[in-house]
Structure 1
């Protein structure tokens, strides 16, 4: 279930049954499947299993009952703020940096023997808080409230930590992946997700990304990737780079097969260029 982007934080009575406000965290969205004696699965939006790369979360999830399914965000914390870049590093590299990983749950989709997605959020939330009573990192419950003023105070106070904004949900709504408008997200930056289809430069030193906007329009990133960004892009895309092909503006580019997703800052003016922020490998 994906939230719809809006600009304003809705009123407490704006959504069905009242509004729950929770923090919008900076991480990888993932469903957690608890499978008894089998290893847990952390399913990203791409359907890739993230659990093998996060052993501390894997261990924490094994303590939950067989048959539980959670929805949540896999987050990294480093030097007093959320550190999205740590998620693409190895467990050993994160340990050297002192980064901490946590799975922050915000919904409960199943209990042992029971699919509860059709129950209203208020019931799912009560069951989730009971299930995670006393839970501590690397498994924890998202901060949530039904008080709009309290949510706004969190948004302001926690902005320096990298919290992206708020998510608003109707307390009477079921968990329905095809439903539109059941969840709303209010971000504190005008970023969008785009598809990365190719890049200029070399496989070891990418320079400009060729992207596809949500409406299908092609757009380029500018300025050129800095050295840190280039290293991260090169490492993340190393196994999906194709032979170069001609491009009308960049001379030649290396296609990405399959394309991946990037988060960019869109120029509010008429410039067709985008400012690259990071790849979103989830």
Structure 2
């Protein structure tokens, strides 16, 4: 199942009634983990690839589970008090994690028990069975933190944001598991961060720019998206007019209009890699 993106966290009766389960949204590799007894465990990615050879410690932990257990989960890396997606990429290439990195498999759904397909059961029953199946299982496999209390979920999301928690996945409590589906029974809310950045250049016509080339305070350079609205374009053009340098070609962004005096802007940063949505120019 794949959750649909929503702009706000739904209320407890907001997914068709019957209650909502709120889970932490983590930054990792989605995979379905198959425990197969004497055969090697399988960590199936969303594209169908087996990730087991790239993450041997996780595959070994899944192999120790009862044969026939199938989990839907997020494969994550943890370093220095934060979820570290970049370490997953490094581990995937190197086939081993550095000593400072802990790998984990955070299970959020149970698809099968030994000899029993449970996908048609409501989520509340699958959650109960998941917790029972993992009750005595040590790390690196753990159940995701979940609650049916919306206020508690929002508090978790804010309190754990410094650890890299992205937002919440919200699921109808009575929903069965529908492969490749989800519809409106599962939705995801991604937390956004408001940040300031430096406008280094404009793209498109100087009189009606399409986008801004932005430098974040940590040195990352991004192009604003989506395209500036007509009102935003006029405001940016007016503020930038006294500071426009000669246009220069750029292999990635076409013609740029650099600013001789940088302007400051307020953005919304969302997702991974981050998307920068322009909000306004700062007057300070």
Same structural fold, with TM-score higher than 0.5 when normalized by the shorter chain: yes
Give the CA deviation at 1:222.
Answer: 5.5
Write out the 4+ residue segments of structure 1 that deviate beyond 6 Å after TM superposition. none
- What runs of 5+ residues in structure 1 fail to find an aligned partner? 191-218, 230-247, 252-261, 271-282
CA distance in 2, matches of 1:94, 1:37: 23
CA distance in 2, matches of 1:78, 1:125: 28
Residue in structure 2 matched with residue 14 of structure 1 by the alignment: 14
Residue in structure 2 matched with residue 34 of structure 1 by the alignment: 35
Q: Is the 8 A contact 2:72 2:110 kept in 1?
A: yes
CA distance in 2, matches of 1:221, 1:37: 56
**Alignment deviations for residues 237-260 of structure 1 (CA, whole Å, 9 cap, x no partner):** xxxxxxxxxxx9738xxxxxxxxx
**Alignment deviations for residues 153-207 of structure 1 (CA, whole Å, 9 cap, x no partner):** 10111000000011110110011132311111111128xxxxxxxxxxxxxxxxx
The question of 1:154 aligning with 2:156 is answered yes
**Alignment deviations for residues 126-165 of structure 1 (CA, whole Å, 9 cap, x no partner):** 1100000033321111000111111111011100000001
Residue in structure 2 matched with residue 113 of structure 1 by the alignment: 115
Q: Which moved more, 1:99-108 or 1:56-65?
A: 56-65
Residue in structure 2 matched with residue 167 of structure 1 by the alignment: 169
Q: What are the residue-to-residue correspondences of 1:117-128 with 2, within 5 Å? A: 117-128=119-130
What is the aligned length? 220
Q: Is the 8 A contact 1:17 1:171 kept in 2?
A: yes
Bigger Rg over Cα: 2
CA distance in 2, matches of 1:221, 1:66: 54
Distance 1:178 1:163, change over 3 A: same
Residue in structure 1 matched with residue 26 of structure 2 by the alignment: 25
CA distance in 2, matches of 1:58, 1:221: 44
Residue in structure 1 matched with residue 139 of structure 2 by the alignment: 137
CA distance in 2, matches of 1:95, 1:27: 15
With structure 1 as the length reference, what TM-score do the two structures score?
0.69
Distance 1:149 1:40, change over 3 A: same
CA distance in 2, matches of 1:25, 1:56: 19
Q: Is the 8 A contact 1:27 1:74 kept in 2?
A: yes
Residue in structure 2 matched with residue 46 of structure 1 by the alignment: 47
Give the CA deviation at 1:96.
Answer: 3.4
Distance 1:49 1:18, change over 3 A: same
CA RMSD in angstroms comes to 3.4
SS at match of 2:35: strand
